[in-house]
Amino acid sequence: MTTETLCGDFYTHCFQAEQDKEHEGRLIINMGPQHPSTHGVLRVIVEMEGEYISRAEPVIGYLHRMHEKMGEIKTYHQYMPNMGRVDYLHALAWNWAYIGAVEKLCQIEVPRRAEFIRVITCEMNRICSHLVWWGAYLLDLGAFTPIMYSFDDREQAVDLLQMITGSRLTYCYYRFGGVRTDINDAFIAGTRDFCKLMKSRLPMYKDLVTDNYILRKRCEEIGVLPLEMARRYGATGPVLRGSGQKYDVRRAEPYSVYPELDFEIPAFPEGDAMARYRVRVAEMEQSVRIIEQSLNMLPQGDFMAPKSPKRIKPPKGDVYFAVEGARGKIGVYIISDGSSTPYRLKLRSPSYSNLSLFAELAKGTLLADAVSILGSLDLVIPEIDR
């Protein structure tokens, strides 16, 4: 291609330069960064062969905030609010990953009551996250009504979380050695009602959407992700479980009180967008189960370790702590040099690995199906860009 016809930015140029000789003249277009189906500011450069994608490359970094650098500057306490902003849909899982890593590094004991409160709130947040995904994914596929139902339910959960955390989206609730506030009877009663509500709503979701013929046509056998490929890319969470691998950090690397709780890991072997959809809906059901059990097992006691340190100065060393977020394995790797700020702080975000397989997955699919695939990966752009 001659230089006169070159347009676009650095990434488009690179993408054009990689074009095969025989494919020369194929249309290269940008999807995003303001495309509504990309949930934020994701841009995908695609090379089209008619309606079919012959090559695709995601371009990210539009929402990059350098959280890892901030971690090296702020003290351990000061870094806490950042975690709510990495993944705004499942903020409490990120809270937990960071707090858990520091607790492991400093060997801080967490009271049992606090562990249960963490499980309840984190699972509640997971349901919220899946509900947003559920509504938004169907919106991508052209169904407007479901998001109204999902936001109605999510509102109940968010109101409950607001009751104890004080915020509605970017929570900063967990503390080193416990949680910020204790839960009260109103919250427990409200949560029980919410569990009942969700149990009645999930069959309704099935009638309304899951069995819908049009949805199945748009999801089934779309974006089939073989397990081998998922492993090669390090995909985790529902994306991996949609390929049939029963891998969940809550079971594989048990943390907190999850070993005591009875829940299943839903996995579907088909590997298509529908399998990923089913995994998430089944996960909501399991989260309700976990919440109900935790409420029954909730012990009395402290919600904050009485000896939790005011100033954190961990010993020298490194620690890797992983939790299961709504999108997969969230890992926080901290190298401490013994001072009050981390020497290095690495955030491993699940969507980042999940999105990196899109280029291979989208090859040869219809452009309209690529939207379905992108949606089924459940991307949260702030988490990818960090």
Partner 1 sequence: MNLLGEIREAIKGFYSLAVGMGVTGKYFFRPEVTVHYPRKTVDNVSTYSGHVELQPGKKNPDGADCIVCGTCVRNCPSGCLTLEVLELMEENPDLEKKPKKIKKLKALIYDYSYCSLCGQCIENCPVTALGFSQHVYWAEFDRKAIKMDLVARLKDQLNAKKEAM
Partner 2 sequence: MKTSENLLEGLDICAQTRCRYEQCGCVTAVFLDQVQLRAAASRLFEAGYHIEDVTGVDFAEGIEVIYHFDHFDHPVDYPARVTLRVLTDHESPEVPTISDIFSGAGWHERECFDFFGVTFSDHPQFRPLLLPAEFDQHPLLKPEKNRESLYAFLGACEPVKPVKGERYHFEASVEAPVEAQKTPEALASSDTGQSRSEKA
DSSP-based three-state secondary structure for 170? coil
Look at the block and give the residue holding tokens 């350098």.
66
Which of 111, 100, 96 has the alpha carbon at shortest distance from 300? 111
Residue 68 touching partner 2 (CB under 8 A):
yes
* Binding-site partner at residue 85 among partner 1, partner 2, none, CB < 5 to 8 Å by type: partner 1
When asked if residue 335 is in the footprint of partner 2 (CB under 8 A), the reply is yes
CA dist 174 to 121, 128, 301, 306, Å? Answer: 10, 18, 17, 15
- 346 in Cβ contact with 68 (< 8 Å): yes
Separation of alpha carbons 73 and 55, rounded Å: 40
Q: For residue 104, state whether it binds partner 2 (rule: CB under 8 A).
A: yes
Under the binding rule (CB under 8 A), the answer on residue 66 touching partner 2 is yes
Residues found in the chain: 386
Which residue of 16, 19, 30, 167 would you call a contact of partner 1, by CB under 8 A?
167
- The answer to whether 333 contacts partner 2 (rule: CB under 8 A) is yes
Q: Among partner 1, partner 2, none, what binds residue 68 when CB lies within 5 to 8 Å by partner kind?
A: partner 2
CB–CB of 358/379 below 8 Å? Answer: no
Q: Based on the shown chain and the rule CB under 8 A, indicate whether residue 77 belongs to the binding site for partner 1.
A: yes
From partner 1, partner 2, none, which one binds at residue 170 (CB under 5 to 8 Å depending on kind)? partner 1
Q: Which does 166 bind (CB under 5 to 8 A by kind): partner 1, partner 2, none?
A: partner 1
Rg of the chain (C-alpha set): 22
Q: Which CB atom, from 148 or from 259, has the smaller least distance to partner 2?
A: 259
Structure letter (DSSP) for residue 260:
G
How far lies 114's CA from each of 100, 173, 205, in Å?
A: 12, 11, 33
Alpha helices in 107-248 (DSSP H): 112-140, 145-165, 185-205, 213-219, 227-233, 238-241
User: Distances from the Cα of 314 to the Cαs of 76, 106, 283, in angstroms?
Assistant: 9, 5, 36
CB of 343 to partner 2, least distance (A): 7
Q: Is 56 in the site for partner 2 (CB under 8 A)?
A: no
Examine residue 363 and tell whether it contacts partner 2 (CB under 8 A): no
The C-alpha atoms of residue 42 and residue 56 are separated, in whole angstroms, by 13
- Judged by CB under 8 A, the stretch of 81-89, 227-235, 275-283, 290-298 that binds partner 2 is 227-235
φ, ψ of residue 344 to 5 degrees: the values are -150, 140
Pull the structure tokens for residue 271.
């590997």
Our finding on whether 188 is near partner 1 (CB under 8 A) is no
Q: Residues 123-162: x/- map of binding to partner 2 (CB under 8 A)?
A: ----------------------------------------
Return the residues of window 90-119 that contact partner 1 according to CB under 8 A.
Answer: none
CB of 36 to partner 2, least distance (A): 23
Q: Does 232 bind partner 2 (CB under 8 A)?
A: yes
Tokens 């401490």 belong to: 336
- Using alpha carbons, select from 191, 242, 246 the residue that is nearest to residue 375: 242
Number of residues that bind partner 2 (CB under 8 A): 52
Beta bridge partners of 332: 321, 347
CA 356 to centroid of chain Cα atoms:
15
Closest contact distance (angstroms) between CB of 148 and partner 1 is 9
Measured from the CB of residue 37, what is the shortest distance to partner 1 in angstroms? 22
Interface residue list for partner 2 (CB under 8 A) = 9-11, 14, 18, 57, 60-61, 64, 66, 68-69, 72, 101, 104, 229, 231-235, 240, 245, 247, 251-254, 315-322, 329, 331, 333, 335, 337, 343-344, 346, 348, 352-353, 356-357, 360, 385-386
